[in-house]
Amino acid sequence: MNTYNKDNVLRDYNTLLDLYLNSSSEEKKINIYSQMLFIYNIEPKLVKGSKLFSYKPSNYSIYTRKRESARKKRYLELDNLTRKICFNLWEEINKYYPLDTSRVPNDIYSYEEYVSMLRTFFKENFSSDLELFNKDIEENNLTIRKSFPFSNANIYYLESLKKYYINIEYYKRLNAFNIASTVHEYGHASTFMQSNIYTSRDYILNEAIASLYEIIFLDYYLSKYGNEYSYIEMIRIFNTACINSINRTIRKGYNYKEHHINMIEALYGQLIAATIYIKYRDKDLNSIIEILKNNYSKADGFELLRSIDISIDDLIDTSEDISKLVLRR
Residue 64 has pLDDT above 80, yes or no: yes
pLDDT digits (tens, 9 = 90+) for 210-266: 999 998 998 888 888 776 666 667 666 666 766 776 776 666 665 677 778 888 888
Q: Contact, 236 vs 93, CB < 8 A?
A: yes
pLDDT in tens, 134-193: 999 999 999 998 888 888 899 999 999 999 999 999 988 898 889 999 999 999 999 999
Q: In this model, does residue 329 exceed pLDDT 60?
A: no
> Domain-by-domain residue ranges, the chain?
6-58, 67-127+174-325
* Contact present, 162 and 191 (Cβ < 8 Å): no
Is-contact 324 278, C-beta < 8 A?
Answer: yes
Residue 325 has pLDDT above 90, yes or no: no
| pLDDT at res. 237 | 66
* Residues 6+ away with beta carbon under 8 Å from 130: 119, 122, 123
Question: pLDDT of 78-133, one tens digit each?
Answer: 989 998 888 888 777 777 656 566 666 667 889 999 999 999 999 999 999 999 99
Q: How high is the pLDDT of residue 195? A: 85
* pLDDT at residue number 49: 83
- Cβ(205)–Cβ(296) under 8 Å? yes
Question: Does residue 83 contact residue 251 with C-beta atoms inside 8 Å?
Answer: no
- The predicted structure's pLDDT at residue 326: 63
| In the predicted structure, residue 279 carries a pLDDT above the cut 70 | yes
The SS3 of residue 98 is: coil
Report the run of H or E that residue 109 belongs to, with start and end: strand 108-109
Q: Give the separation between CA 169 and CA 182, rounded to whole angstroms.
A: 10
Is the bond preceding residue 44 a cis peptide, omega within 30 degrees?
A: no
Q: Cα(266)–Cα(269) distance, rounded to whole angstroms?
A: 5
pLDDT in tens, 17-63: 999 999 999 999 999 999 999 999 888 888 888 889 999 999 999 99
Per-residue confidence (pLDDT) for residue 47, from 0 to 100: 86
